[in-house]
């Protein structure tokens, strides 16, 4: 290579200094040199290649080694990891298995428990079924027992009635005997007087006197027992009528056991009398059979003897008398049998004319003491039975009386409880049949059952309605007001009270609330005016009262102040006082409704208040419809505020009495109303249906009550579901012509009964009253210094 380098350098030198120095190398040597170099180079190349190969091989080897080492390292690393994972896995597996075992154990436990429970349930069900069956059986047994007892009672009732009838007949017969015997006695007495004294006759007389005396004594006894029973009944009635002293316990609970014991007594008495009757029948049958046998035997023996024909006349006579005695005995038992059978079957004895005359003959023959004894025996038995019947009848009457009084008492106490709970009270008043209904001849379909319920003969069968009080057509205005009067005390005590009448036109709402036209029968309104002032007078030493009133009319959904005249006067008033004020219904903080914009006038006596009322009535819209010429087509609302200041502690109560005479609730088509009357009817119907919706919402206890839908419901907001004591009087017509309206009204009223109010007294303490006065004075422009705080 040095040579090559030399050669190159020489070439460079040659190229650089070609001009200055030229070296000449012989070709051979050059060739030799070149070949030498080439060979060297070849060798070098070979060596190079060898080293490269070696290096490559080395590299490969080291690379493989390194790879293997890395591989090994990685493998071992992963192996380690694998091992740890495996240990983890094993651990987890262990745990899982443990858990699994636990769960399996638990599942097994639960299934066992479940099985046990199922079995228990099955057993329980079985027991339940058995118990139900047992109960059912008990129930059926009881029902059977009751029905059989009822049957027995019915049978007994029927038979006792028959017995009574028979007994009456018997008494009649006894009386006949008496008259007959007394006439005979008279005859005999007359004969005696004539002087035909015969010893035999006197004997006959004395014989005939005995039965007469017996009959007389029986009659006397009968009369005596009758008087006694009458006395007992009147005593009982008086005891019922006399006022029962107030006891803390309700009477029903006292009466009920008495009723039950009485029922038991009756049942046992019935059973006893039945057993007695049965015994008597059996005894009689035995005696009859015996008597018949004896008679047969006797007849046979007499036949045999007659064949022998060896008898003395004396013997013959004794035979005849014993035969007749036996015949009489048989007859006696036969008669007894018939009488007892009749008593048992509850029929009166059937006798043909021949038998009757025979019987009469027997009864008349006083010389037949055995027949008489028979009749006497039957008569005595009948008397006994009659007595028993009477006693049982009385007991039945007593039980019925007890039951009815208990029922009435229960209803009364129930009503009291309901009132205490704040339920709206609903009275129902049935109007008398009016002239047009009477001429049309329509049937009366409404009937008052008792003081608390009525039935209506509806087309689909009778319907019963329950109310807090029912007033029949005969009930007077006073009677009605007696039940309303206690509300007046509540007004004075500071409660809000609302009384309103509801019903179709002509059903008597205005009659009930206002009275008739000429005020011969004043209604609730005028009566309440007097009642309020009466109570105030009684309490004038303890309280200071102030009475004021507003009177409104709700006509065509507009509130009108009735103290302001509508017609010509209104015009003059408008001129003098400016336009009439708009009346609006507002509620104060306590929820009490008041009429803003309506005039409130004070009254110092019932007469003054009544004069105000009459003035208001004169301003009403009244239009005649076909249903009722005096019908009012608007709702009348009278509000009376009573403020009472307690003179001892200074507290002030403010009670309000709202009296509402609603317009008629009938359908427009029936009244024959037209044009503006139709508008009236529509507005009335609208307000009444709004009232209906309010009632529905309240009775169903819905969260929202749509009071705002109509002025009427706004006015009555504090009376329906509010804080007032409310009384609704549902007026109904009794006739078939109005049955639809009657049913609607009654259903409406039944819903009202379900509404509960929360009546509270409106009381302000002395301090609050004074503060209010301060505020009032401030409002009217006075300074605080002027006010006596």
Cβ atoms of 385 and 346 closer than 8 Å: no
Structure tokens at 783: 């300074």
Region of 721 (left: φ > 0; alpha: ψ -120 to 50; beta: rest) is left
Contact of residue 731 among ligand ADP, Mg ion, none (CB under 5-8 Å per partner type): ligand ADP
CB-based contacts of 427, cutoff 8 Å, min separation 6: 467, 468, 469, 470, 471, 480, 483, 727, 728, 729, 730
Q: Minimum CB separation from ligand ADP for residue 707, in Å?
A: 25
Which of 423, 429, 457, 390 lies closest to 229 in space, CA to CA?
390
Q: Which of 427, 465, 511, 707 binds ligand ADP (CB under 6 A)?
A: 511
* Cβ distance to Mg ion smaller for residue 38 or 629: 629
Which of 299, 308, 302 lies closest to 326 in space, CA to CA?
299
Distances (CA, A) of 24 to 14, 28, 194: 10, 12, 235
Q: Minimum CB separation from Mg ion for residue 728, in Å?
A: 15
Q: Which of 509, 670, 711, 725 binds Mg ion (CB under 5 A)?
A: 509
Cα separation, 507 vs 628, in Å, equals 9
Tell me the pairing of strands 724-732 and 496-502.
parallel
DSSP three-state, residue 753: helix
- Own/partner contacts of 445-454, CB < 8 Å, gap of 24 or more, are 445/734, 445/735, 445/736, 445/739, 445/742, 446/732, 446/733, 446/734, 446/742, 448/472, 450/404, 450/407, 450/408, 451/408, 451/411, 452/408, 452/411, 452/415, 454/428, 454/430, 454/746
Is 508 within any annotated ligand binding site?
A: yes
* Cβ distance to ligand ADP smaller for residue 166 or 684: 684
DSSP three-state, residue 372: helix
Number of residues in contact with ligand ADP, rule: CB under 6 A?
A: 17
* Cβ distance to ligand ADP smaller for residue 266 or 514: 514
Q: Minimum CB separation from Mg ion for residue 631, in Å?
A: 6
Is 506 within any annotated ligand binding site?
A: yes
Cβ atoms of 655 and 497 closer than 8 Å: yes
Contact of residue 453 among Mg ion, ligand ADP, none (CB under 5-8 Å per partner type): none
Q: Which of 477, 510, 560, 762 binds Mg ion (CB under 5 A)?
A: 510
Stretch that binds ligand ADP, among 500-508, 572-580, 605-613, 759-767 (CB under 6 A): 500-508
* Cβ distance to ligand ADP smaller for residue 695 or 732: 732
Position 500 contacts ligand ADP (CB under 6 A): no
Region of 421 (left: φ > 0; alpha: ψ -120 to 50; beta: rest) is alpha
Contact of residue 516 among Mg ion, ligand ADP, none (CB under 5-8 Å per partner type): ligand ADP
Q: Which of 181, 505, 713, 735 binds ligand ADP (CB under 6 A)?
A: 505
Contact of residue 508 among Mg ion, ligand ADP, none (CB under 5-8 Å per partner type): ligand ADP
Position 284 contacts ligand ADP (CB under 6 A): no
In the DSSP assignment, the letter for residue 663 is P
Cα separation, 479 vs 474, in Å, equals 10
Burial class, 468, CB count within 10 angstroms (exposed 0-12 / middle 13-18 / buried 19+): buried
Cβ atoms of 671 and 681 closer than 8 Å: yes
Q: Which of 631, 713, 738, 745 binds ligand ADP (CB under 6 A)?
A: 631
Q: Which of 302, 327, 434, 693 binds ligand ADP (CB under 6 A)?
A: 434
* Cβ distance to ligand ADP smaller for residue 253 or 436: 436
Nearest residue to ligand ADP, scored by beta-carbon proximity? 508
Stretch that binds Mg ion, among 504-512, 579-587, 602-610, 716-724 (CB under 5 A): 504-512
Q: Minimum CB separation from ligand ADP for residue 664, in Å?
A: 5
Contact of residue 639 among Mg ion, ligand ADP, none (CB under 5-8 Å per partner type): none
CB-based contacts of 506, cutoff 8 Å, min separation 6: 431, 434, 627, 628, 631, 664, 733
* Cβ distance to Mg ion smaller for residue 510 or 745: 510
* Cβ distance to ligand ADP smaller for residue 539 or 682: 682
Contact of residue 713 among ligand ADP, Mg ion, none (CB under 5-8 Å per partner type): none
Cα separation, 58 vs 238, in Å, equals 145
* Cβ distance to Mg ion smaller for residue 509 or 645: 509
Scanning residues 637 to 676, which ones bind ligand ADP (CB under 6 A)?
A: 664
The helix or strand, by DSSP H or E, that contains position 461, with its residue range, turns out to be strand 461-466
Q: Minimum CB separation from ligand ADP for residue 516, in Å?
A: 5
Is 722 within any annotated ligand binding site?
A: no
* Interaction pattern, residues 707-736, with ligand ADP; x per rule: CB under 6 A: ------------------------x-----
Distances (CA, A) of 661 to 158, 244, 621: 53, 37, 13
What pairs with residue 548 in β-bridges? Answer: 602, 641
Cα separation, 562 vs 583, in Å, equals 11
* Interaction pattern, residues 110-149, with ligand ADP; x per rule: CB under 6 A: ----------------------------------------
Contact of residue 630 among ligand ADP, Mg ion, none (CB under 5-8 Å per partner type): ligand ADP
Q: What are phi and psi for residue 764, nearest 5 degrees?
A: -115, 135
Q: Which of 160, 619, 625, 628 binds ligand ADP (CB under 6 A)?
A: 628
* Cβ distance to Mg ion smaller for residue 666 or 764: 666
Position 431 contacts Mg ion (CB under 5 A): no
Q: Minimum CB separation from ligand ADP for residue 556, in Å?
A: 18
Q: Minimum CB separation from ligand ADP for residue 733, in Å?
A: 9
Is 258 within any annotated ligand binding site?
A: no
Position 512 contacts Mg ion (CB under 5 A): no
CB-based contacts of 273, cutoff 8 Å, min separation 6: 156, 385, 388, 392
Contact of residue 506 among ligand ADP, Mg ion, none (CB under 5-8 Å per partner type): ligand ADP
Q: Minimum CB separation from ligand ADP for residue 478, in Å?
A: 12
Stretch that binds ligand ADP, among 137-145, 351-359, 508-516, 543-551 (CB under 6 A): 508-516
Position 431 contacts ligand ADP (CB under 6 A): yes
Which of 266, 226, 560 lies closest to 396 in space, CA to CA?
266
CA atoms within 13 A on the CB side of 677: 17
Which of 87, 1, 75, 13 lies closest to 40 in space, CA to CA?
1
Scanning residues 630 to 659, which ones bind Mg ion (CB under 5 A)?
A: 632
Contact of residue 511 among Mg ion, ligand ADP, none (CB under 5-8 Å per partner type): ligand ADP
Is 672 within any annotated ligand binding site?
A: no
Q: Minimum CB separation from ligand ADP for residue 753, in Å?
A: 20
* Cβ distance to ligand ADP smaller for residue 506 or 655: 506
Region of 444 (left: φ > 0; alpha: ψ -120 to 50; beta: rest) is beta
* Cβ distance to ligand ADP smaller for residue 532 or 662: 662
Is 578 within any annotated ligand binding site?
A: no
Is 228 within any annotated ligand binding site?
A: no
Position 526 contacts ligand ADP (CB under 6 A): no
For residue 503, how many other CB atoms are within 10 A of its CB?
A: 29
Is 503 within any annotated ligand binding site?
A: yes
Q: Provide the binding-site residues for Mg ion, judged by CB under 5 A.
A: 509-510, 632
**Residues tagged in the binding site annotation:** 503-510
Residues in binding site for ATP: 503-510
Query: Given the rule CB under 6 A, which residues bind ligand ADP?
Result: 431-432, 434, 503, 505-511, 516, 628, 630-631, 664, 731
């Amino acid at each position: 290579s040095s040579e090559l380098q030399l050669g190159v350098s020489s070439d460079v030198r040659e190229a650089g200094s070609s001009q200055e120095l030229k070296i000449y190398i012989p070709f051979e040597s050059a060739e030799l040199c070149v070949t030498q170099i080439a060979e060297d180079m070849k060798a070098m190349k070979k060596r190079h290649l060898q080293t490269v190969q070696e290096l490559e091989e080395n590299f490969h080897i080291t690379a493989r080694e390194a790879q293997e080492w890395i591989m090994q390292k990685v493998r071992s690393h992963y192996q380690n990891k694998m091992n740890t994972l495996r240990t983890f896995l094993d651990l987890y597996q262990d745990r899982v298995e443990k858990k699994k075992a636990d769960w399996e154990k638990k599942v097994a436990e639960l299934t066992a428990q479940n099985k046990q429970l199922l079995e228990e349930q099955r057993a329980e069900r079985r027991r339940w079924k058995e118990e139900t069956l047992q109960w059912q059986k008990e129930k059926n047994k009881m029902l059977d027992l009751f029905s059989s007892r009822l049957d027995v009672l019915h049978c007994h009732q029927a038979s006792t009635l028959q017995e009574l009838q028979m007994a009456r007949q018997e008494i009649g017969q006894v009386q006949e005997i008496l008259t007959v015997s007394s006439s005979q006695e008279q005859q005999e007495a007359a004969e005696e007087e004539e002087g035909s004294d015969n010893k035999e006759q006197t004997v006959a007389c004395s014989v005939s006197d005995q039965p007469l005396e017996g009959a007389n004594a029986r009659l006397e006894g009968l009369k005596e027992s009758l008087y006694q029973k009458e006395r007992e009944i009147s005593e009982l009635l008086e005891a019922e009528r006399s006022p029962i002293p107030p006891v803390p316990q309700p009477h029903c609970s006292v009466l009920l056991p008495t009723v039950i014991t009485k029922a038991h007594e009756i049942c046992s008495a019935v059973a006893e009398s039945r057993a007695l009757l049965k015994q008597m029948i059996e005894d009689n049958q035995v005696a009859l059979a015996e008597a018949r046998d004896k008679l047969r035997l006797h007849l046979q023996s007499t036949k045999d003897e007659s064949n022998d024909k060896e008898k003395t006349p004396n013997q013959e006579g004794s035979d005849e008398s014993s035969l007749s005695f036996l015949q009489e005995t048989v007859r006696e038992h036969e008669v007894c049998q018939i009488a007892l059978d009749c008593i048992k079957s509850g029929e009166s004895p059937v006798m043909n004319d021949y038998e009757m005359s025979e019987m009469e003959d027997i009864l008349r023959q006083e010389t037949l003491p055995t027949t008489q004894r028979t009749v006497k025996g039957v008569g005595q038995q009948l008397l006994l039975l009659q007595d028993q019947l009477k006693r049982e009848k009385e007991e039945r009457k007593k039980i019925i009386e007890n039951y009815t009084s208990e029922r009435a008492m229960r209803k009364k106490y129930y009503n009291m409880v309901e009132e205490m709970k704040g339920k709206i009270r609903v009275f129902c008043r049935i109007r008398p049949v009016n002239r047009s209904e009477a001429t049309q001849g329509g049937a009366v379909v409404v009937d008052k059952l008792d003081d608390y319920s009525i039935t209506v003969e509806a087309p689909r069968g009778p319907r019963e309605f329950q109310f807090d009080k029912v007033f029949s057509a005969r009930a007077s205005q006073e009677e009605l007001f007696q039940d309303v009067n206690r509300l007046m005390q509540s007004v004075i005590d500071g409660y809000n009270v609302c009384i309103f009448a509801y019903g179709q036109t002509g059903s008597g709402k205005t009659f009930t609330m206002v009275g008739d036209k000429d005020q011969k029968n004043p209604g609730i309104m005028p009566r309440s005016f007097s009642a309020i002032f009466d109570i105030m007078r009684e309490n004038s030493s303890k309280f200071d009262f102030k009475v004021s009133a507003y009177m409104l009319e709700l006509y065509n959904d507009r509130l009108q102040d009735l103290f302001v005249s509508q017609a010509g006067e209104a015009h003059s008033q408008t001129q003098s006082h400016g336009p009439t004020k708009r009346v609006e219904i507002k509620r104060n903080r306590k929820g009490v409704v008041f009429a803003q914009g309506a005039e409130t006038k004070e009254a110092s006596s019932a007469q003054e208040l009544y004069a105000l009322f009459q003035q208001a009535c004169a301003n009403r819209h009244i239009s005649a419809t076909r249903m009722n010429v005096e019908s009012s087509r608007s709702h009348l609302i009278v509000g009376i505020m009573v403020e009472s200041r307690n003179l001892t502690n200074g507290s002030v109560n403010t009670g309000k009495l709202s009296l509402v005479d609603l317009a008629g609730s009938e359908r427009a088509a029936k009244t024959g109303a037209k044009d503006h009357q139709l508008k009236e009817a529509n507005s009335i119907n609208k307000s009444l249906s709004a009232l209906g919706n309010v009632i529905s919402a309240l009775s169903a206890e819905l969260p929202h009550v749509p009071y705002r839908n109509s002025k009427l419901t706004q006015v009555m907001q504090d009376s329906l579901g509010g804080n007032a004591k409310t009384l609704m009087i549902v007026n109904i017509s009794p006739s078939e012509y109005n049955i639809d309206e009657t049913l609607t009204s009654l259903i409406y009223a039944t819903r009202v009964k379900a509404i509960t109010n929360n009546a509270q007294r409106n009381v302000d303490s002395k301090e609050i009253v004074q503060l209010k006065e301060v505020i009032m004075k401030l409002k009217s422009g006075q300074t605080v210094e002027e006010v006596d705080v």
